[in-house]
């Protein structure tokens, strides 16, 4: 049974070259994504793969570069659908984006907690601002009660004292908990966390991710977790999307990624190998950056880096030519698992 | 790190250094003098009366702590009364600058790229193209004579000066505010607040202006106040455009006694200035008979006041970047 809270159909985002030359570059290519109600969806890909742009275009948050969008997105906050006004980063400061249509419907936790808090306002006041988005017309005392409640919810010790602090007095982990409290205080149906663990100590990363998972389960909230690291998402993902150069190359439920089964995309394997190596402390496999991606747009987006055509086995010797010229079809090992790769679909 | 150690850390940061203490000391002193000036009437504004009976350029005595000026008026009283000349007009200058520059800069910065912002930016540039002192002199000259009552005109002229200096400061303050707003507008916490559905108005007023521009604005208004003291005293010293005598200003007090400087120099030169005792004797002579205090008092007052408000500006500049 599928009950998405937010979904997109063939969503494209193009940005203009900052140097002003040529036609816009597509940074998100035809994304179909579904966020199920009450489930944790993870969007995985290396930095620059377009995950953040996708999320921003969808949720109406400004981007650094001007661009245009195409495609459709629909939100279903309470069963009834309405189209999400896609915000090209160009219209960043105006336009009726999702946040102004449904204030407090979605909460956001960004990377680098030190940047997502106002450095000169007390923690309590910042959480308080979110409280007033969810409930207008509260007395200051009632706001304060809720602020303390939210600080407690994210397991901050001694909320009374923390509320009086300024962000620079918090450790990274505490600051990220505060950022989560700020997002939670708007009482959202959907929580979006964009690389919530970058800039944090290894020891704290796991805590933050576990906290996010726990909060979403307890409150029946949907979670969209964006990360480059499979180890981070492994514990809590229900549904995964893997993104490379703007394309969703693979998606499926968690078992498709973390249990042995029929093929997964070579890029997924690369990411998994990298995060495994990072965790074991050995140096991650080197990237083959020598070859430039094809600019024509034909062929597989991963072709310039794919190990299968770089070191072809005898059975796959003819692969390279096809990968570079033919757009790979979607292969479905099972009904809910999709891999966009020529080789995975063919018996070797 | 425990919470209690965080507390002490913050309190250490909030402590004031000597610069801040000096700045606030001067501020309190100026406020005190301004209040005292309300009860002091150093020069009856209709002609000179019994003051004429006092000797001119007298040295300090218990009755007249700083001595008297070239017309025999009590110097200390005039020094105190002179604070009136720049205090409220100076605040008025700050008010004019802040009330116009902060909203202009904030709008130009927050909605950067829109047409309105471009127009505001053009206005700021236009104002900044006017040389400050020329603007002041020209406008005051235009208005001269339009108010008949001389006492009222003196008052109006001071506020006119204040308004003009404030206006001429708008590009600087507006530019600083808009630059700051532009910077913070792109910060993640602003994006997060927007994404959560906080209104633009609240983000701009609370997150950006109140939290992150407050100290910047205070810093610039302090500098502006210092600039106004300088403009007012300079114009009053020069004569035509400043405070018209008999109203006192530190500038025209200095102008009144400036001829005595020559006299006191000759007094000092006549003594044997190569030995400490001789030097002190010369200075004493100059104070007693040459009106040296009449020169020193306004000079030091101007210097200390400006240094004080600039120290305040420095205090806020330090607060500005945590
Ligand atoms: S389609 Fe070809 S290039 Fe792309 S991932 Fe599969 S094997 Fe590699």
Over 60: is that where the pLDDT of A27 sits? yes
Q: Tokens in use for B289?
A: 């008979």
β pairing state of A34-36 and A4-15? antiparallel
Q: Output the pTM of the full model.
A: 0.77
Band of pLDDT at residue A49, cut at 50, 70 and 90: confident
C-alpha dist (Å) from residue B18 to A29, A95, B282: 60, 50, 35
More confident residue, A271 or B40: A271
As a whole number, the mean pLDDT across chain B is: 80
Among candidates B54, B87, B60, which has minimal Cα distance to B73?
B54
- Compute the 3-state secondary structure of chain A and give helix, strand, coil in percent, each to the nearest 5: 35, 25, 40
Looking at residue B226, what is its pLDDT? 95
Q: With an 8 Å Cβ cutoff, are A166 and B10 in contact? A: yes
Over 70: is that where the pLDDT of A343 sits? yes
Band of pLDDT at residue B90, cut at 50, 70 and 90: very high
Looking at residue B47, what is its pLDDT? 44
Over 70: is that where the pLDDT of A79 sits? no
Over 70: is that where the pLDDT of A86 sits? no
Task: Supply the DSSP string of A162-228, one letter for each residue.
Answer: HHT--GGGS-HHHHHHHHHHHHHTT--SEEEEESTTTTS-HHHHHHHHHHHHHHHHHHT-EEEEEES
pLDDT digits (tens, 9 = 90+) for A90-148: 444 444 566 666 777 888 888 887 778 888 888 999 999 889 888 888 888 999 999 99
- Distance, in Å, from the CA atom of B150 to the CA atom of B156, rounded to the nearest integer, reads 10
Q: Tokens in use for B112?
A: 């950067």
Average pLDDT for residues B129-141, to the nearest whole number?
78
Would you kindly state where each structural domain of chain A is located, as residue ranges? 1-87+227-259, 263-345
User: In sequence order, which residues have a C-beta less than 8 Å from that of residue A340 and are 6 or more positions away?
Assistant: A247, A248, A249, A250, A265, A300, A328, A329, A330, A331
3-state secondary structure of A330: strand
3-state secondary structure of A239: strand
- Distance, in Å, from the CA atom of B186 to the CA atom of B7, rounded to the nearest integer, reads 30
Ligand 1 neighbourhood includes A323 CB (under 6 angstroms): yes
Average pLDDT for residues A316-331, to the nearest whole number?
81
The answer to whether residues B139 and B165 touch, using CB atoms and an 8 Å cutoff, is: no
More confident residue, B59 or B111: B111
β pairing state of A247-253 and A337-340? antiparallel
Looking at residue A69, what is its pLDDT? 67
- Distance, in Å, from the CA atom of B106 to the CA atom of A175, rounded to the nearest integer, reads 28
Looking at residue B32, what is its pLDDT? 93
Q: How far apart are the first and last CA of chain B?
A: 20
Highest-confidence segment of B39-43, B93-97, B189-193? B93-97
Q: In chain A, what percentage of residues exceed pLDDT 70?
A: 82
Average pLDDT for residues B139-148, to the nearest whole number?
75
The answer to whether residues A128 and A143 touch, using CB atoms and an 8 Å cutoff, is: yes
As a whole number, the mean pLDDT across chain A is: 81
Q: How far is the CA of A40 from the centre of ligand 1 (A)?
A: 28
Over 70: is that where the pLDDT of A340 sits? yes
What's the gap between Cα B164 and its chain centre?
14
- Distance, in Å, from the CA atom of A223 to the CA atom of A107, rounded to the nearest integer, reads 9
Looking at residue A97, what is its pLDDT? 63
pLDDT digits (tens, 9 = 90+) for A287-312: 655 455 555 567 888 888 888 887 76
What does chain A come to in residues?
348
Question: Do you find a cis peptide bond into A119, omega within 30 degrees of 0?
Answer: no
- Distance, in Å, from the CA atom of B252 to the CA atom of B263, rounded to the nearest integer, reads 19
Ligand 1 neighbourhood includes A299 CB (under 6 angstroms): no
The answer to whether residues A73 and A8 touch, using CB atoms and an 8 Å cutoff, is: yes
Q: With an 8 Å Cβ cutoff, are A120 and B322 in contact? A: yes
The CATH class for the domain spanning A1-87+227-259 reads alpha beta
Task: Supply the DSSP string of A14-51, one letter for each residue.
Answer: EE--TT--SSPEEEEEEE--EEETT-EEEEE--TTSSH
Average pLDDT for residues B301-312, to the nearest whole number?
95
Q: Tokens in use for A248?
A: 């969703």
Calculate helix-pair angle for B115-128, B150-185, nearest 10 degrees. 130
pLDDT digits (tens, 9 = 90+) for A163-200: 999 888 888 888 999 999 999 998 888 899 988 888 78
The position carrying tokens 């040296």 is B292
Q: In chain B, what percentage of residues exceed pLDDT 90?
A: 22
Radius of gyration of the CA atoms of chain A, in A: 21
Question: Shortest Cα distance from B62 to chain A (angstroms)?
Answer: 52
Would you kindly state where each structural domain of chain B is located, as residue ranges? 18-38+74-258+307-320
Looking at residue A44, what is its pLDDT? 92
Question: Shortest Cα distance from A145 to chain B (angstroms)?
Answer: 20
- C-beta contacts of A201-209 below 8 A and 24+ residues apart: A201/A172, A201/A173, A204/A172, A204/A173, A204/A176, A205/A232, A206/A235, A207/A173, A208/A173, A208/A176, A208/A177, A208/A180, A209/A233, A209/A235, A209/A236
- Distance, in Å, from the CA atom of A164 to the CA atom of B308, rounded to the nearest integer, reads 32
Question: Shortest Cα distance from A290 to chain B (angstroms)?
Answer: 34
Residues 97-116 of B with CB under 8 A from A: 110-111, 113-114
Band of pLDDT at residue A234, cut at 50, 70 and 90: confident
C-alpha dist (Å) from residue A33 to A11, A89, A239, A241, B119: 9, 20, 10, 8, 43
Looking at residue A13, what is its pLDDT? 80
Looking at residue A325, what is its pLDDT? 83
- Distance, in Å, from the CA atom of A5 to the CA atom of A26, rounded to the nearest integer, reads 26
Looking at residue A180, what is its pLDDT? 92
Looking at residue A108, what is its pLDDT? 86
Q: State the Cα angle at B132 between B126 and B136, rounded to 5°.
A: 110
Q: What is the CATH number of domain B18-38+74-258+307-320?
A: 1.10.3720.10
Q: How far apart are the first and last CA of chain A?
A: 34
Q: Which of A53-67, A180-194, A319-333, B304-318 has the lowest mean pLDDT?
A: A53-67
E strand or H helix at B79: helix B75-81
Chain B CB within 8 Å of residue A96 CB: no
Radius of gyration of the CA atoms of chain B, in A: 24
Phi, psi of A192 (to 5 degrees): -110, 125
Band of pLDDT at residue B13, cut at 50, 70 and 90: low
Task: Supply the DSSP string of A243-262, one letter for each residue.
Answer: EETTEEEEEEEHHHHHS--S
Q: Which atom of ligand 1 is nearest the CA belonging to A328? A: 1
Q: Which protein residue has the closest C-alpha to ligand 1 atom 3? A: A303
Band of pLDDT at residue B81, cut at 50, 70 and 90: confident
Chain A CB within 8 Å of residue B207 CB: yes
The position carrying tokens 């909460």 is A107
3-state secondary structure of A70: strand
How many CB pairs (< 8 A) connect A and B? Answer: 87
Q: Which protein residue has the closest C-alpha to ligand 1 atom 1? A: A341
Ligand 1 neighbourhood includes A151 CB (under 6 angstroms): no
Chain B CB within 8 Å of residue A145 CB: no
Q: Tokens in use for A26?
A: 């597509």
Q: With an 8 Å Cβ cutoff, are B196 and A99 in contact? A: yes
Looking at residue A1, what is its pLDDT? 52
């Amino acid at each position: 049974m599928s009950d998405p809270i937010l979904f997109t159909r063939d969503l494209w985002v193009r940005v203009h070259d900052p140097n002003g030359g040529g036609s816009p570059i597509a940074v998100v290519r035809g994304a179909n994504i579904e966020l199920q109600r009450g489930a944790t969806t993870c969007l995985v890909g290396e930095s620059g793969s377009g995950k953040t742009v996708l999320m921003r275009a969808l949720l109406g948050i400004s981007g650094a570069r001007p661009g245009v969008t195409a495609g459709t997105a629909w939100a279903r906050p309470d069963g009834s659908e309405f189209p999400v006004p896609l915000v090209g980063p160009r219209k960043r400061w105006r336009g009726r984006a999702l946040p102004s249509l449904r204030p407090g419907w979605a909460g956001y936790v960004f990377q680098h907690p030190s940047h997502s808090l106002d450095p000169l306002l007390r923690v309590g006041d910042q959480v308080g601002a979110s409280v007033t988005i969810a409930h207008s017309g509260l007395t200051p005392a009632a706001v304060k009660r809720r602020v303390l409640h939210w600080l407690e919810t994210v397991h901050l010790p001694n909320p009374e004292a923390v509320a009086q602090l300024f962000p620079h007095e918090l450790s990274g982990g505490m600051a990220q908990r505060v950022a989560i409290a700020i997002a939670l205080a708007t009482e959202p149906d959907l929580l979006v966390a964009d690389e919530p663990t970058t800039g944090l100590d290894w020891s704290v990363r796991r805590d933050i991710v576990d906290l996010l998972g726990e909060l979403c389960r307890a409150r029946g909230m949907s979670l969209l977790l964006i990360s480059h690291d499979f180890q981070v998402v492994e514990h809590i993902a229900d549904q995964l999307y893997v993104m490379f150069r703007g394309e969703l190359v693979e998606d499926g439920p968690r078992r498709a990624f973390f249990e042995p089964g029929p093929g997964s995309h070579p890029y997924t394997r690369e990411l998994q190998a990298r995060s495994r190596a990072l965790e074991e402390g050995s140096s991650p496999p080197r990237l083959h950056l020598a070859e430039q991606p094809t600019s024509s747009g034909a062929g597989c987006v991963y072709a310039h880096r794919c190990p299968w055509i770089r070191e072809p086995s005898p059975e796959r010797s003819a692969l390279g030519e096809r990968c570079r010229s033919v757009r790979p079809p979607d292969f479905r090992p099972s009904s809910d698992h999709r891999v966009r790769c020529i080789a995975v679909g063919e018996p070797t | 790190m425990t919470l209690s150690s965080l507390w002490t850390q913050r309190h250490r940061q909030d402590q004031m250094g000597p610069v801040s203490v000096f700045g606030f000391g001067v501020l309190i002193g100026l406020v005190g003098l301004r209040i005292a000036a309300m009860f002091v009437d150093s020069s009856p504004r209709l002609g000179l009366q019994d003051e004429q009976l006092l000797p001119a350029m007298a040295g300090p005595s218990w009755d007249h702590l700083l001595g008297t000026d070239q017309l025999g008026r009590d110097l200390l009283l005039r020094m105190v009364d002179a604070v009136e000349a720049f205090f409220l007009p100076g605040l008025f200058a700050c008010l004019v600058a802040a009330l116009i520059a902060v909203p202009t800069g904030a709008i130009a910065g927050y909605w950067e790229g829109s047409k309105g912002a471009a127009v505001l930016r053009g206005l700021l540039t236009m104002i900044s193209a006017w040389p400050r002192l020329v603007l002041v002199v020209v406008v005051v000259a235009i208005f001269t004579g339009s108010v008949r009552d001389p006492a009222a005109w003196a008052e109006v002229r001071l506020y006119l000066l204040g308004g003009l200096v404030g206006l001429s400061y708008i590009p600087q303050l507006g530019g600083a505010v808009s630059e700051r707003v532009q910077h913070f507008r792109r910060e993640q916490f602003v994006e997060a607040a927007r994404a959560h559905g906080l209104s633009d108005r609240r983000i701009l007023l609370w997150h950006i202006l109140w939290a992150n521009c407050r100290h910047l604005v205070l810093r610039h208004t302090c500098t502006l106040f210092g600039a106004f003291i300088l403009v007012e005293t300079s114009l009053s010293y020069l004569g035509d455009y400043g405070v018209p005598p008999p109203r006192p200003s530190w500038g025209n007090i200095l102008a009144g006694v400036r001829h005595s400087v020559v006299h006191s120099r000759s007094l000092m030169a006549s003594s044997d200035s190569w030995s400490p005792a001789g030097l002190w004797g010369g200075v004493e002579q100059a104070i007693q008979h040459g009106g040296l205090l009449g020169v020193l008092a306004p000079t030091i007052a101007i210097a200390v006041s400006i240094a004080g408000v600039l120290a305040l500006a420095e205090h806020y500049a330090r607060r500005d970047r945590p």
